[in-house]
Structure 1
Amino acid sequence: MFKKLAIFLFLMSLPGIAFSLEIYKKGDISLNAGWWGQMWFQSVSNMDTNGDGRFDDTLNDFLIRRSYFYLGGNVNEQLSFFTHLASDKLGMDEITNDSNNGLGSGIAVRDAWISYQLLGNDLIVQAGRMYVPFTRDYGTTSTKSLLITDLDWGQGGYRSTIFYPSRIGREDGVTLWGNVFADKLQYRFMVGDGEEDNAKNRDDKLRYAGRLSYNFFDPETDWFNAGTYLGKKHVLALGVGADSQNGLMLSGREQDYFAWTADVFYDQPISGGDGLTFSAAYTNIDHAVNGIAFTRLASGDCGYLLSLKAGYLFGHPLGLGQLQPFAHYQRIGVDEDNKKDTQVYGAGLNYYIKGPANKLSLEVTRVDQDEEIAKTNVQNETIITVQFAAGF
């Protein structure tokens, strides 16, 4: 325990050397590099830490939740590129390492694309590995600016898994996207590889995903949006998305995966530098590709995800930074009558030192099962997370 604590305290000092460096600049040509990371301590109740089938232990875990080195730049006004080299959940207990995706150990290419503006900001073609343009939570929102501590349960947040075909929330493919109607409407449409494991996908069908988002006030025109704008923007965005891939082998039989989502995001600056953030999303799933850990939703099941989040930023500084209490609620349901729902809810506090990426966070989350299942991980759990995030 003391050894892990010493290692964690050392890792927490690493953000002090975080950097953002302009390596080269000449006319329209530029090259930039930077680093950003999150260090976590988590305490999780009702875990089987001994492998004896008894879910009554408390897991105490120090880990590097994310460590991202990025490299990007412009070739000219129309042509640009971006790359993320990532290590995710390094040192996390109770995880299966996947070095090819930078999960648990090793470093992998998480994002890598070339982007070309065919018609300025109206029509952009982007090719490579990138976010799947489907949900707002893990389709447009940067993990460097989340409102709550992590992504939603069911999309890889905390200790959950991602229900759709995924390379850690990314896909290899081509996306057409842009901003039209005075930049109020953003559209994205992707054709991707999808699930390529021949044991599951015998016909190697393509994956199709798309998203529309309309902003009534300040536009959001970038590839990455924020989970909270810290009182800097007035945003009301309505979004819809869809994701599909046919001919997948799920639970021993061929099924077609399809999911759709609808969401709303609201961010309101308030006098004195305060800011209110609220979001809600509903996702309907037909034949999930992957089961969601710690819930009853398994591969091949149909179900839904409901998500609500809210936060309030106090603009008046407290010491070096600003405080933002937040809360969230999720419900994960399965259509089968004999499978009960799971609720995930929590509350916490962000302390922003410099911008959305540099902060301290404390959150207490409850995983609440409508029905616990003995000798499985479908148990009621309490998760306490302490986070230190920094970078440029």
Structure 2
Amino acid sequence: MKATTNNKGQHKGMGNNTMLKLTAVSALAAAATICAAPVKAADLKLPPISLGAGLRTQFESTNPSGGSNTINDFNVNNARLYIGGSVTENIKLMFNTDYSSGSDLQVMDAVARFEFGDKFNIWAGRFLAPTDRANLYGPFYASNWNVYEDGVQDGYPGIVQGRQNGVAYWGTFGIAKVSFGLFDAPGTFGEGEVLTSGRVQLNFWDAEPGYYLNGTYYGAKDLLSVGLAGQTSAGKHAYTLDGLMEKKLPNGGVVTLEAEAARYDELGGYGGFNGSYIDSNGWYGLAAYLFPQQVGIGKVQLLAKYGAARFNDAQLLPLQEAPTAEYEQTTMEFNLNYLIKTFDARLSLFYKDTKLDAGLPDTTQIGVGVQIQI
């Protein structure tokens, strides 16, 4: 700013101390102006940072067998914060947290990602190990609402939401995607051993770039995929075989078929009715159809899923009640899904029926779920 005539006249009658004070004040004001001035992004060269959040919440009404009272609950299934950024073109960081009803806020993903192309990528830190597709897509990217409640899928051991601490390689070679890693077993099941984990996946139609997967693409891809995964440590093992087929029809509708078979031999698994079973196996099948017509601001999808799991070899802890030697769980689920913006805004009306043999209690559940992501 240019000085006015009056200001110039005032300057002439000032002493040395006053001049020094004004000079200091002027210097500070100039520095503040420089700091406050807008700085171009090109001058700062900050790495790009992405922020996001996700919420899955539901109301459920559960009716146990045997004349017990109906239980009504509002739950926060998952509340997550997502942070990611690139240090260089090939070095990236991922940091995600998760909170759910009944648990504290936890660090879910904390990953240093060294990604050099389709064929060579290294992840280190806490993340999903090479396992079944269901573990690699998580609840936000699953087709059905009540994911991981059939005693079959995502039974591999984990610290938080299926995650483990370790390092893994992954790469894509034509139709094959392979991944292999070493992980910290003591954090998962108490043995002082390294846990070895691996997966081989074949994509016969469209490819699936990246490490994490989806349970559906809602017609964005035509997918035919088969995956074989396994873990082993200290003589304990787990294996899964999974498949996903998704096809967009000429009328614009989308058909989704998903299946998995699993065996958990003293490694992972769901532990059965009272958590004491160390050996389990099972399978599930899922079918869904997304109607092409727009209904209001979204589209409607019908979904059905059936799963069967058998729990064997109970090992009792002190003061545990003796369970049956083995028993079977069957789970049937139906969803009426309303997709507003695929995974970022969807509603689910669900019904789930869980039956246990050997005289154990059955349950039926009906509810509505809401999922939002930004």
Please classify the TM superposition score into its range, dividing by the shorter chain length.
0.7 to 0.9
Does the CA-based 8 Å contact 1:173-1:190 persist in structure 2? yes
> Distance between the aligned counterparts of 1:149 and 1:345, measured in 2?
12
Residue number in structure 1 paired with 2:118: 121
Match of 2:249 among 261, 270, 279: 270
Q: 1:171 is matched with which residue?
A: 164
- TM-score between the two structures when normalised by the length of structure 2: 0.80
Residue equivalent to 2:319: none
What per-residue deviation string (whole Å, max 9, x for no partner) do you get for residues 140-194 of structure 1?
214222110032326699xxx956344331101001011112xx21111111002
Aligned residues: 323
> How far did 1:201 drift?
3.2
Identify the residue that residue 77 of structure 1 maps to in structure 2. Answer: 89
Residue 321 of structure 2 corresponds to which residue in structure 1?
A: none
Asked if the contact 1:84–1:110 (Cα under 8 Å) also holds between the matched residues in 2, the reply is yes
1:215 matched to which residue of 2?
A: 203
Change (3 A) 1:134 1:178: same
CA shift, 1:297, in A, is 7.0
Amino acid at match of 2:109: D
Among all aligned residue pairs of Structure 1 and Structure 2, give the percentage whose two residues are the same amino acid.
22
Is the CA contact (8 Å cut-off) linking 1:296 and 1:334 kept in structure 2?
A: no
Alpha-carbon distance in structure 2 between the residues aligned to 1:55 and 1:188: 49
CA distance in 1, matches of 2:150, 2:269: 9
SS in 1 for 2:48: strand
Match in the other structure for 1:391: 373
Find out whether 1:358 has 2:345 as its counterpart: yes
Cα RMSD of the aligned pairs, angstroms, is 2.4
Answer yes or no: is 1:292 the counterpart of 2:271: yes
Distance in 1 between residues matched to 2:151 and 2:123, nearest whole Å: 23
The equivalent of 1:342 in structure 2 is 329
- Asked whether 1:86 is paired with 2:98, we answer yes
Shift of the 130–324 alpha-carbon distance from structure 1 to 2, 3 Å rule, reads same
Aligned equivalent of 1:201: 190
3-state secondary structure, aligned to 1:262:
strand
Question: Where do residues 15-54 of structure 1 align in structure 2 (5 Å cutoff)?
Answer: 29-46=47-64
Q: Where in structure 2 are there 5+ consecutive unaligned residues?
A: 1-40, 314-323
Q: Name the residue aligned to 1:151.
A: 147
Q: 2:226 aligns to what? A: 238
Shift, 1:55, TM fit: 7.3
Q: 2:284 aligns with which of 307, 311, 318?
A: 307
* Contact 2:57–2:371 under 8 Å retained in 1: yes
Provide the C-alpha distance between the structure 1 equivalents of 2:268 and 2:277, rounded to a whole number of angstroms. Answer: 5
Q: Which runs of 5+ in 1 are unaligned?
A: 1-23, 48-53, 91-103, 247-255, 374-378
Q: Which among 137, 143, 147 is matched to residue 134 of structure 2?
A: 137
CA deviation after TM superposition for structure 1 residue 44, in Å: 1.3
2:170 alignment partner AA? W
Give CA-to-partner distance per residue, 1:330-353, whole Å, 9 cap, x none: 111134594121101111111011
Return the alpha-carbon distance in structure 1 between the equivalents of residues 365 and 132 of structure 2: 25
Over residues 183-221 of structure 1, what are the superposed CA-to-partner deviations in whole Å (9 max), with x where a residue is unaligned? Answer: x21111111002337xx635x101111111110010012
- Whose radius of gyration is greater, 1 or 2? 2
